[in-house]
Amino acid sequence: MSETRSDIPASLLALRRLQALRARYPMSSRILGRLGLSLLLLFASSVLIFCGIEALPGDFASTYLGQAATPQAVANIRAELGLDEPMVSRYLAWAGGILQGDFGTSWASGQVIADQLWSRMGNSLLLAGCAAVIAVPLAVGLGLVAVLYRDRWPDKLINMVSLAAVSLPEFFVAYLLILWLVVQTPLAVFPATVYDSMSLIEKLHTIALPVATLVLVVIAHMMRMTRAAILSLLSQAYMETAALKGLGAWRIILRHAMPNALAPIINVVALNLAYLIVGVVVVEVVFVYPGMGQYMVDAVTVRDLPVVQGCGLVFAAIYILLNMTADILSIFANPRLRHPR
Amino acid sequence: MKQTLKTIPVSAWVGILGITVCVLGALLAPWVAPYDPNVVLGAPWAERSAEFPLGLDNLGRDLLSRLIWGARMTLFVAVVATLLAFTLGVVLSLVAAVMRGLVDVGLSRLNDLLMSIPTLIFALIVLSALPQTLGVLIVVMAVLDATRVFRLGRALAMDLVAMEFVEAARLRGERTLWIVFREVLPNALTPLLAEFGLRLAFAVLFISTLSFLGLGIQPPTPDWGGMVKDNKDGIIFGVSAALVPGMAIAVLTVSINLVVDWLLKRTSSLKGGRGDG
């Protein structure tokens, strides 16, 4: 007890010093805080993914054995998979392994998960990366055009097409493209199965259709959000002033709106890149593409929990990382935080 | 009322028409559908004919009948899940905003945690452990959707709670639930209605996606996403049977979005905004 009592002034002092540091370095302290929050979120979601599944009533051993599930057989399988140990020690073993790059072995195939996961993640990132490189500039550009020609026909056209595109399920877009570009005019390849031995050009040709699908789905979301972000900016008083001063439309947008629009646009882009992660799952299944999404869906179908947990954690980590990057970039883009108070 | 009817734009009428067709098809399925959806009537992927207006599916079942019965399943799951999500999300968010303090912090952090994993990935993880029954599906969808509703509801309610009339109710000594349902909720209703539409469209897409991946509604019960999955192999041979249910999903979600678009425009002009902000 006496220790804590003598600690109080010291901790108060530390707190005050921390506040002084925060006032002095507003940007770095916010970035550090955001990094810490992401780490915490990653830890919490790993607990959720691991313990959440374990706490649910489904039991792999009885599902796996089916009719042959005698109590003795179930107990044997549980002991073999290590399911009879307490949950906390199993979580620690699992998380510790992942920190060293070991995701365990698959229950269904008995193979090491990490090997599969890394090669499939490379494939998925290739797919998502190509889609992002095409979609981001196109979407932001179209969003700007829509704002510039607000309420005239280019805006209305873009608005209508994107409303339809937002509403279409990914697999519908994918099969439409397959029907047009593979069956009716043989321009692209289906299924988009890539091998390690393929050259980059061959790979790119093979993934053209899945990339096109992802671009179509993501671009509409991104464009609508860019348009909304810039429009809400345009209703600010200083924008009105700029217009009343008689400045040209492009000058207003590039000089006055852009610096302030940067943070919301960065957010829009990151949010949609995160959306790409989910889109990848469906598109990979449609095109029989050997990526992480397909891996996870297959594992869910046979209830291969270690694979599901591993894939789930990687997906969550990428998602958290993207959101963190967006927040940190918008902290950088905020000029108010550049100078110490 | 007449005034309001006249101000509804054409796009919203198209949306209302699309939704009405889907809902009528779903409600009247036993009387409208020409055949039993699970009976094999001919060769797989038979062409369109006077007998079978949309042709037959991969097993030789009537596509039109399955489409109509599928509307019932898809709409039922989407509507129930969205209603459940809304009840859960709205009540919790309003309670968080009115009670503040630890309750608010606890609920908000839990919400952040659930939202830190992408929805589809989260659903896949949960469905890998749980039995894939209808009830489980609906509850999983509802809980995941409730996180989005919670965030919007809390933001709306936070603004409202700061108003004088809530302050006044508090000083009168009204109970928390009274404040939630009589003071805050009525004022948050219109934006929440638009959000309901968005969530409903999302739920239709989501259940279809899950069924398409083989993890949603289990065969032989017809539903639109599952029908795309059943017929997808035909695409390579130029059989467009998989596109018909896909088209139905698209028509329904586009219709919902058209109505939501109009609702959102109406709310922003009510607030004195510039219409498109």
For chain B (277 residues), the mean pLDDT of every run of 10, in chain order, is: 67 89 87 80 76 78 87 92 92 84 87 86 86 86 91 85 85 85 81 85 91 86 88 80 87 90 69 37
Sign of the CA dihedral with B221 first, then B226, B227, and B230 last = negative
Q: A14 CA to chain B: closest CA distance, Å?
A: 25
Q: How many domains does chain B have?
A: 1
Give the best residue of B74, B213, B269 to mutate against chain A (max A CB count within 10 A): B213
Residue A138 has a CB neighbour count (10 Å cut-off) of 15
Note whether residue B1 is domain-resident. Answer: no
Nearest Cβ partner for A175 among B131, B243, B277: B243
Note whether residue B81 is domain-resident. Answer: yes
Note whether residue B40 is domain-resident. Answer: yes
What is the mean pLDDT of the segment spanning A137-151? 84
Give contacts of A 18-47 with B, CB under 8 A.
41, 44-45
A3 has a pLDDT exceeding 60: no
Higher pLDDT, A255 or B92: B92
Note whether residue B3 is domain-resident. Answer: no
Q: Do A315 and B242 touch (CB under 8 A)?
A: no
Give contacts of B 216-255 with A, CB under 8 A.
225, 228, 232, 235-238, 240, 242-243, 246-247, 249-250, 253-254
What is the mean pLDDT of the segment spanning A188-209? 76
Residue B62 φ/ψ, nearest 5 degrees: -70, 125
pLDDT at B204: 92
Q: Do B117 and A182 touch (CB under 8 A)?
A: no
pLDDT at B75: 92
Note whether residue B262 is domain-resident. Answer: yes
CA-to-CA distance for B130 and A52, rounded, in angstroms? 11
Q: Does A57 touch chain B (CB under 8 A)?
A: yes
This prediction's pTM = 0.84
CATH number for the domain including B182?
1.10.3720.10
Q: Do B250 and A164 touch (CB under 8 A)?
A: yes
Place A211 in a pLDDT band, splitting at 50, 70 and 90.
very high
The residue range of the domain holding B148 is: 10-272
Note whether residue B4 is domain-resident. Answer: no
What is the mean pLDDT of the segment spanning A103-123? 83
Place A57 in a pLDDT band, splitting at 50, 70 and 90.
low
Note whether residue B277 is domain-resident. Answer: no
Choose among B276, B271, B269, B272: nearest CA to B7: B269
Render B20-79 in DSSP notation, one character per residue.
HHHHHHHHTHHHH-SS-TTSB-SSTTPPP-SSSTT-B-TTSBBHHHHHHHHHHHHHHHHH
Give the best residue of B14, B111, B124 to mutate against chain A (max A CB count within 10 A): B124
- In DSSP terms, A112 is beta-bridged to A105
How many Cβ pairs closer than 8 A exist between chain A and B?
155
Q: Do B209 and A57 touch (CB under 8 A)?
A: no
A341 has a pLDDT exceeding 60: no
Encode pLDDT of B225-274 as tens digits: 888 888 888 887 777 788 888 889 999 999 998 888 888 777 655 443 33
pLDDT at B200: 92
Note whether residue B37 is domain-resident. Answer: yes
**Domains of chain A (ranges, CATH numbers):** 35-100 (no CATH), 123-338 (1.10.3720.10)
Please list, in sequence order, all residues whose beta carbon lies within 8 angstroms of the beta carbon of residue A35, skipping any fewer than 6 positions away.
A324, A328
CA-to-CA distance for B125 and B119, rounded, in angstroms? 10
What is the mean pLDDT of the segment spanning A158-182? 84
Nearest Cβ partner for B236 among A190, A274, A303: A190
Give the best residue of B116, B204, B257 to mutate against chain A (max A CB count within 10 A): B116
